[in-house]
């Protein structure tokens, strides 16, 4: 009988080991679709004529590098020699190499999108690259698409390799904030602040500043922090034209497994029962 009680308590404790809370598949709410990531070759020198007509939209020849260094190339595992860093920078996807980007079949960006995970989930958000001279001006955060509530994730002091763990609600979008121009840019770009530098004569928010990539549970955001195509009068003179490489901040976010609080409490109860049964057995044998 005593042995039966101990066995029952042990089985109860094992059965009460908490299941991890795994995030549901994230759904992108927008007008785009997933396109296979197969970056075409890009130019290896700075360009003087470039507009947002680049296809795919994130595939601009990076002014920060001497080789393929845009967000798609980085996420595909291509090393690049960035001018703003002394060493090559490389990012790799997971083993099967089936990453995709969110956009149109023609390679254009989806101007307005946000994410729906189907429930509150915990994520690790890691900065993987920041190929920009404005690295001390860039902030990243999440926002509620329905209420507009903002929460900062990565500050101007965040460096490559830093990770923050955060629990996000079911529905969320990301925003980028430039502390120099005091303007925010959203995955729903219709929310963007609009012109910059006051009247906006030297640049404007042209559309989607975010490139979204995915491979299974791994997600990346590539961010473009310059705002004007060369067609905007005056942008070249002040160096604010965009190269559309979306590598000015590259962030990976992924769901993590965390014990559910209720199940953790049940596990504690089960283990206490096991300890009590073992104690009674020891006492009876003395």
Residue 125 has pLDDT above 80, yes or no: yes
The model's pTM: 0.75
Residue 215 is predicted with a pLDDT of: 85
Residues 198, 183: contact at Cβ < 8 Å? no
Whole-number pLDDT of residue 128 = 84
Residues contacting 125, CB < 8 A, separation 6+: 153, 154, 163, 164, 165, 166, 251, 252, 253
pLDDT digits (tens, 9 = 90+) for 96-112: 557 889 998 888 889 89
82, two tokens: 């960035």
**Cα dist. 239→43, 65, 227, 246 in Å?**
20, 16, 10, 16
Non-local (6+) Cβ contacts of 275 within 8 A are none
- What single DSSP character describes residue 164? E
So where are the chain's domains? 2-9+261-285, 26-255
What pLDDT, in 10s, does the model give residues 236-261?
A: 555 566 777 888 899 999 999 755 55
pLDDT, greater one: 215 or 30:
30
pLDDT digits (tens, 9 = 90+) for 143-192: 999 999 999 999 999 988 899 999 999 999 999 998 887 878 899 988 88
């Amino acid at each position: 009988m005593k042995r039966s009680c101990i066995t029952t308590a042990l089985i109860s404790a094992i059965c009460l080991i908490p299941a991890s809370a795994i995030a549901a598949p994230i759904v992108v709410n927008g007008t785009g679709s997933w396109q296979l990531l197969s970056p075409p070759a890009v130019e290896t020198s700075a360009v003087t004529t470039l507009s947002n007509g680049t296809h795919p939209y994130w595939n601009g020849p990076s002014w920060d590098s001497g080789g393929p260094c845009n967000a798609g190339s980085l996420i595909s595992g291509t090393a690049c020699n960035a001018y703003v860093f002394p060493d090559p920078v490389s990012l790799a996807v997971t083993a099967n190499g089936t990453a995709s980007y969110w956009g149109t079949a023609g390679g254009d960006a989806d101007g307005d999108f946000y994410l729906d995970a189907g429930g509150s989930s915990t994520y690790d958000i890691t900065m993987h690259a920041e190929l920009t001279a404005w690295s001390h001006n860039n902030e990243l955060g999440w926002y509620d698409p329905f209420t507009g509530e903002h929460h900062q994730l990565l500050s101007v002091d965040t460096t490559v390799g830093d990770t923050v763990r955060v629990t996000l609600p079911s529905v969320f979008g990301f925003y980028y904030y430039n502390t120099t121009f005091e303007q925010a840019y959203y995955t729903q770009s219709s929310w963007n602040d609009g012109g910059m530098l006051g009247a906006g004569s030297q640049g404007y928010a042209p559309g989607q500043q975010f490139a979204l990539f995915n491979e299974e549970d791994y997600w990346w955001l590539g961010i473009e922090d310059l705002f004007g195509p060369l067609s905007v009068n005056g942008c070249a003179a002040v160096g604010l034209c965009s190269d559309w490489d979306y590598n000015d901040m590259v962030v990976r976010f992924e769901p993590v497994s965390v014990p559910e609080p209720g199940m953790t409490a049940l596990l504690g109860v089960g283990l206490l029962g096991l300890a009590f049964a073992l104690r009674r057995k020891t006492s009876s044998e003395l």
